Structure 1
Amino acid sequence: MRARTTPRRATTIGAVLAATAALGAPVAAAAGPPAAPPVRVGVGQADITPPTGSPLGGWVRADRLGRGVHTRLMAKAIVLERGGTKVALVSVDLFAAVGGLVKEVADRTADRGFTERNVVVSASHTHAGPSGFANFSTLNTVAPSPATIGNPSSFVEFLDPKPTDRRLYTFLAQRIALALRQADRDLGPARVGWGSATLPDVTKNRSIEAHLADHGQILARGQGRPELDPDGVLHTIDPDVDVLRVDRLVRRSTPCTRQGRRTRCRRTVAVPIGGWLMFANHGTVNPSSYQFYNQDHHGPATRVFEREVRRRGKVPAARAVVGVYGNGNEGDQSAGLDEQGPEHAEEVGRAEAAAMLRAWSAAGRSMTTRPALDLRWTRVCFCGQDSSAGPTSAQPIPGLPFLTGSEEGRGPLFDLTGIPLEDQRSPVEDGFAGHGHKIAVPASSTDSYPNGAPLFTVRVRDRIIASLPGEPTVETGRRVRQRILDAIGGAGVRRVIVAGLTNEFFQYFVTPEEYARQHYEGGSQIYGTNASVLLTDALVALARNLTGRGEAPQPYDFDPRNGVVADGEPYPTGATDGRMLAQPPDGRRGGQTVPFSWQGGPGGYDKPLDTAFLTVERRVAGRWRTVSDDRWIDLRWQVDDAGRHRGEWLVPRGADAGTHRIRITANGYALTTSPFTLVR
């Protein structure tokens, strides 16, 4: 792709807009011919929560299933368009945004001008979404449960995983494409700006000895401490929060004074519609034993962010406000090492939302209608070629640590042995070319992994987003950022932001020093010691081309769909009738739960998409008023094979006392509980 826009100083109208910091304040238009068309922005979202019963993606365990729903899984999109350049920034609440699925989504929206070369899809990496939708079978792997681990046939399935679940694959493609279409149809005049904040006390580095190897400290597992980092404890994590704020410009009637008389005038007003949100934090705050589909900490973070933006901006109810939260260089970053569970996930998410709102407010002080907007894309082959640090491998091989999982949730083999298979190396170097001292785990076939890695550099105003198709560690991300900044020599770019888990999933990307230690992350870098360096080299070349300083690498010819066709049948819509089984009790209060149950159909098919399944109402002055619904964070439900649903309202602390009820609105039936009383 050739550049279509060039960095330039804001025009007079841009300067006026930048000065409009107050939300909802009129935006004055100044005279003067524009040098380039203003930016247009649109937002969209769609519910991607599937029926229940899938293994939870990310935990790789057959005994961890999505038996119900806590927070809905979502696809959210921001589309930016300026001067013929269009780019979509999308997030999906899945453990991975696999390349074939992204290609399918782009193909389904080709009539709107999208291809896999301008759609940037980042996975939140929640470990509480479905699995089984990957185009390459290894990512559909689930480990045998402790109950079946003694059965040899269970390992046959582990090493030769099931093919793609085409029904689920088709459902996800349709729903993600819907979010993208909504955002593109929503395009309109806008202003954008960047803001940053720090969040230093939420995450920790879960592989501290591997990180310390980057500083030349070689320590056995369990001997490392963050304080040993010569650059300080904060250097072991990535505390940066980056927000791309987007506001819609609309014509609105507002009070004004003309010739000394109060009247109403038509003025352009900035209405906030959301932001692209970036922070590095693993989606493992909820443990694998919490068998509800949920967004993990991302759910509270985005919902609190969106609700507060709507409140501060006095945004009308009909206008969508969207927080598009992917993930950064989170490979070794976790908020789930010391504490786990839904309460902690909410606590973490609220802390993230507060930092994101600080960054969003900072962005409001420097908004423009005419940002630099451009992007470059390529696809790199893992074909055994040399990187700037040495050779890579053409043979994808997981290592021994993959078998027992990460610190937040070990696998069933660890359940039996109690031994994590980390920090173990082969005495023979390069028994497999390019893999150093890795102890290999046999796979059914090498073609069960992709070998074409898509990469983006996207410039928006004075920042570059650099993507990686997997989970980079904090130091990997730091090196990507520094090498790009060094290579482009300024060029008006103040900051590089690494977006991980984007447009494909190659598991982990670590530094060569971390790879040598063979912790879980290093053992899960499948293309050898220098795989991350090879991709960094390509990102540097893309960034140089983006800023007019060199040629972009030619893309490797590769079809990420791997023969998978999105031809799955639609899911059924569930039962046509239901009945209450147990009514909510009286006398509960804030901080407690209100249980209830009802008979419907099995499989989670009763749940509607995009609209409320469960709604809490409170009686006020003789009328029922909505308090909450299951698109927020305080309702959850699960269903068994006989269709018996058990629901819970997690009553917020400080909830108003009074008479309440819960409505159940399924695809095929509607129920209402008996009224119940909350006390103070």
Structure 2
Amino acid sequence: MGVKINWRALVALTVLSVSLGAQAQDGRYVVGAGLADSTGEVAENTMFGYADDKQVSTGLQQRMHARAFTLTDGQTGKGVLLVVVDAGAISQAIHQQVLRQLAARYGGRFTEQNVMISATHTHSGPGGFSHYTLYGLTTEGFQRGTYQGMIDGILRAVDRAVASEAPADIRFGRSQLTNASAQRSATAFARNPVAERAAFAGQIDADMAVLRFERGGKAFGAVSFFAVHPTSLTSKNTLVSGDNKGYAAYYWEKLMQGTQYRGGKGFVGAFANTNAGDMTANLHLHPGSGPTEDEWENARIIGERQAQAAISTPMALSVSGPIDSRQKYFDMSRVQVRADFTPDRQPHTTCPAAYKSAFAAGSTEDGGGGDALVSMGLVGEGRSNPLIAALGTMLFYPSADLVRCHGHKEVAIAMGTAQPFPWSPEVLPAQVVRLGQLALVAMPGEFTIAAGRRIRQTVAERLGLPLSQVLFMGYTNAYAGYNTTPEEYDQQDYEGASTHFGPYTVPAWQQNVAELADALRSGNQLANPLVPRDLSAYQVSLRAGVVFDDVPLGKRFGQVEVQPKSIYRRGEVATAVFWTGHPKNDLRQEDSFLEVQQRQPDGSWLTVRDDNDWDTVYYWKRVFVAWSQATVSWAIGPQVAPGTYRFVHKGNWKNGWTGAIAPLSGTTQAFQVR
């Protein structure tokens, strides 16, 4: 029997060993940074975040990206992989498949122990990438194109990070950012102890933490950690976008110059989320409001504020010391929580997952799919609805023990006891990483600022670290809703109503991370007997794929239907309309659906904008059955150089007879910018 050799993994490990040999001589770290396009389906795909089945994508305002960083200890060879993805969440389906693919590529280098995959939590990204029913209810089930697009982008970013590995310095700093978030659940927050509330001036988590990676004193990558919901864009928006955190990354990477979004080279700046469960970007506490009444301007401003804060944060700490990590899966539906982790100093248990009717209301400050129910008075934050509770009883038959376990929560959706599988995951990962004098805590959901602080305190105490040197990463490695303190839970606002595992969910997480931190401190390994279920064989999509594309008689794919005007002035919006195919035919990752080209003095054309730029938009519209049009636009800013420009549209169309997918392109007439 022959021996099959994984040559890619062998080469990668050989390169790593050479790098580490050089690293060990000077004691620094080996660091790599990679950027890749992870955009999913940008048309006829329900978005993830607001749980609004009417928020169906109609185009692209900004491409989604995965940003990956490999951090390796040159002395021991131990390391971690940190990935930040423009997405609403990281599902277990994504996490499981990425780990399988990493094992195929790199052998045992990257495992569940040292891989952290985190989502920015934009609410304007494509959905349908979870294997669990709860998250497929509003996305018409599983959407394979978006799922695969996210995985491809993550893996490409990791490959690029590995390829760029070299000795580097890691620096760390903290600052305060007070005008980019607001407390959206003040009544629930006020239930926490006075001393705890005092730690949050203005009822917000203003901490901006930054890891920066340098060679020769020059930064080539960075990760910012800041708590805010990327909900500047409302549920009425149907254009795929990274929202405020997407703009923050775009701003910093453009400012540093040299970042090539097609090809993934240059400076990589990621904006990770933390304990943002009750932190809204809508500063006026109303959807799409604050600091202005223009949601797109709000996304830009809140994003720029994050970027500028990250850039100006002083790097006060030069990171040094070993890298190590611990990860373990816990069944959160049945944790026996010890008395030393609960506010009343009594033992308690967590519960199988359930929601209250207030979950359907969404957050008043950010909006969501339940807006119509709220306007009719059927649901609301902190309110019960006996009718919905009765319907939930008929559908899910919650037991008396389950209802009693959830305390103040009126059980309306008992997804944890659904058959044959729970509607949301209960076997979930927790992870603690030691990075020199720092610790990173990765958690699978949305934690309020008080909940996040309690978990950070638990890890800080166990590892003997200052609280300021323990970083929290929410939305990481899996997703299972909200996590509120027991005090906040009793208020049963949206966040408490959406806390899956009952009032003692956060104390259970504190107990879990204490176990991980203790193992890190002692150097002991942990058994990991639980394995999340794999539901890949049970997926259904209710949204039809592309059957075929067509154009009216006398038209051709790529033909310009509406030409741009001949002259535009700065401050105006240039537009053009093309006959096109469905964008699901090809996600065009590492490419573009539109280009703005400028004529050069020698007569050639140079691409100066594409569909990743904040001032361009690609709209797609089904005109009739299989006919569709693409409208491209460019908001011509005051800094644009006068000259001659044109639009180029690229796409793909599907042949109804053969099923073959072919490229298409079209070019407009030239127009002047004055």
TM over 0.5: yes
Q: Residue 75 of structure 1 aligns with which residue?
A: 66
Q: 2: distance between equivalents of 1:75 and 1:565?
A: 27
AA at the equivalent of 1:440: V
AA at the equivalent of 1:646: T
Q: What is the correspondence of 1:646-661 to structure 2 with a 5 Å cutoff?
A: 646-661=631-646
Q: Contact 2:593/2:610 (CA < 8 Å) preserved in 1? A: yes
Q: CA deviation at 1:607?
A: 5.3
Indicate whether 1:533 and 2:526 are aligned: no
Q: CA deviation at 1:318?
A: 8.0
Q: Residue 352 of structure 2 aligns with which residue?
A: 395
More displaced 10-residue stretch of structure 1: 598-607 or 275-284 = 598-607
Q: CA deviation at 1:533?
A: 1.3
Higher RCO (CA-CA < 8 Å; seq separation 6+): 1
| Structure 1 residues 307 and 527, CA gap change in structure 2 (3 angstroms) | same
Q: Contact 1:98/1:134 (CA < 8 Å) preserved in 2? A: yes
| Structure 1 residues 297 and 41, CA gap change in structure 2 (3 angstroms) | same
Q: Residue 206 of structure 2 aligns with which residue?
A: 239
| Structure 1 residues 60 and 194, CA gap change in structure 2 (3 angstroms) | same
Q: CA deviation at 1:443?
A: 4.3
Long gaps (5+) in structure 1: 1-30, 143-160, 218-228, 250-268
Q: 2: distance between equivalents of 1:305 and 1:367?
A: 22
Normalising to structure 1: TM-score of the pair? Answer: 0.80
1:456 aligned to 431, 434, 437, which one? 431
| Structure 1 residues 566 and 375, CA gap change in structure 2 (3 angstroms) | farther
Q: CA deviation at 1:579?
A: 0.5
AA at the equivalent of 1:640: K
AA at the equivalent of 1:49: G
Report the RMSD for the aligned CA atoms in angstroms: 3.3
| Structure 1 residues 527 and 556, CA gap change in structure 2 (3 angstroms) | farther
Which digits, 9 at most, give the CA deviation of each residue in 1:622-666, with x for residues without a partner?
A: 544433222221111111222211111122233233322222233
Which digits, 9 at most, give the CA deviation of each residue in 1:432-455, with x for residues without a partner?
A: 132111111134653122111201
Q: Contact 1:426/1:437 (CA < 8 Å) preserved in 2? A: no
Q: CA deviation at 1:281?
A: 0.9
AA at the equivalent of 1:539: V
Q: 2: distance between equivalents of 1:315 and 1:55?
A: 25
Q: 2: distance between equivalents of 1:564 and 1:350?
A: 43
Q: Residue 127 of structure 2 aligns with which residue?
A: 131
Q: Contact 2:273/2:475 (CA < 8 Å) preserved in 1? A: yes
Q: Contact 2:563/2:668 (CA < 8 Å) preserved in 1? A: yes
Q: CA deviation at 1:573?
A: 11
Q: Residue 46 of structure 2 aligns with which residue?
A: 55
Q: Contact 1:51/1:605 (CA < 8 Å) preserved in 2? A: no
More displaced 10-residue stretch of structure 1: 642-651 or 653-662 = 653-662
Q: Residue 421 of structure 1 aligns with which residue?
A: 380
Indicate whether 1:579 and 2:550 are aligned: no
2:304 aligned to 343, 350, 354, which one? 350
Q: Residue 291 of structure 1 aligns with which residue?
A: 238
Q: What is the correspondence of 1:272-671 to structure 2 with a 5 Å cutoff?
A: 272-310=219-257, 319-336=265-282, 337=285, 338-339=289-290, 341-359=295-313, 362-363=314-315, 367=318, 371-387=321-337, 388-389=341-342, 390-407=347-364, 408-410=366-368, 411-414=370-373, 416-418=375-377, 420-424=379-383, 432-443=403-414, 445-446=417-418, 447-490=422-465, 495-548=469-522, 554-564=527-537, 577-605=557-585, 608-623=588-603, 624-641=605-622, 642-667=627-652, 668-671=663-666
Which digits, 9 at most, give the CA deviation of each residue in 1:276-322, with x for residues without a partner?
A: 221111021101111111111122100111122337x9999984321
Long gaps (5+) in structure 2: 1-21, 390-399, 551-555, 653-662
Q: CA deviation at 1:32?
A: 13
| Structure 1 residues 239 and 399, CA gap change in structure 2 (3 angstroms) | same
Secondary structure, aligned partner of 1:542: helix
Q: Contact 1:43/1:273 (CA < 8 Å) preserved in 2? A: no
More displaced 10-residue stretch of structure 1: 111-120 or 59-68 = 111-120
Q: 2: distance between equivalents of 1:98 and 1:316?
A: 26
| Structure 1 residues 314 and 631, CA gap change in structure 2 (3 angstroms) | closer
More displaced 10-residue stretch of structure 1: 377-386 or 284-293 = 377-386
Greater fraction helix: 2
Which digits, 9 at most, give the CA deviation of each residue in 1:91-138, with x for residues without a partner?
A: 122211012310110111113122222210111111111222212111
Q: Residue 657 of structure 2 aligns with which residue?
A: none
Q: 1: distance between equivalents of 2:383 and 2:168?
A: 53
Q: Contact 1:166/1:567 (CA < 8 Å) preserved in 2? A: no
More displaced 10-residue stretch of structure 1: 206-215 or 191-200 = 191-200
Q: CA deviation at 1:574?
A: 7.8
AA at the equivalent of 2:595: T
Secondary structure, aligned partner of 2:135: helix
1:91 aligned to 76, 84, 92, which one? 84
Secondary structure, aligned partner of 2:609: strand
Secondary structure, aligned partner of 1:590: coil
More displaced 10-residue stretch of structure 1: 50-59 or 35-44 = 35-44
| Structure 1 residues 477 and 674, CA gap change in structure 2 (3 angstroms) | same
Q: 2: distance between equivalents of 1:522 and 1:553?
A: 31
